[in-house]
Amino acid sequence: MMDNEFLCPICGGLTEKINEGRTIGTRCTQCGWSVVSTYTPPIDEDSTLYEVRVKKSNHPDGNQIKTIASLGGINFLQARKQIIEGEFIFRGKARQILSVRERLGNVNLSFEINPVFKW
């Protein structure tokens, strides 16, 4: 038996780890007994409202404009204007901001996040 294996308290069989989504625990491979709990990643417990501000860019390319249009739910011309004038602001919780940061980085748009974003 390996060090990280545990025996079932009901039948004495080996148990296996459960790690499905936010559910963690262990279950018996023989009788099905299990014990589970939930795990919420710390980023999802962060209740801070963050703000992403895209910095001015005089010559945004098509991918940059499409990204801003998609994030802001605005049309192509509005997105272009907001990039050129440095007016695009996105507000959200940590998990949303993580996604926005990745998308902006993928199209090489400069931005700042306030308050300091530790994720």
pLDDT for res 21: 86
Q: Which two tokens stand for residue 47?
A: 């209740």
The residue among 46, 52, 54 whose CA lies nearest residue 118 is: 46
Number of residues written out for the chain: 119
pLDDT per residue as tens, the chain (119 positions): 444 568 999 999 999 999 998 899 999 999 999 999 998 999 999 999 999 999 999 999 999 999 999 999 999 999 999 999 999 999 999 999 999 999 999 999 999 999 999 99
- The radius of gyration of the chain's CA atoms, rounded to the nearest angstrom, is 23
Domain layout of the chain by residue ranges: 1-39, 43-114
Q: Which CATH number fits domain 43-114: 3.30.1390, 2.40.50, 3.30.1040, 3.40.50?
A: 3.30.1390
pLDDT for res 1: 45
pLDDT for res 22: 87
Q: Is the pTM of this model over 0.75?
A: no
The residue among 59, 67, 63 whose CA lies nearest residue 84 is: 59
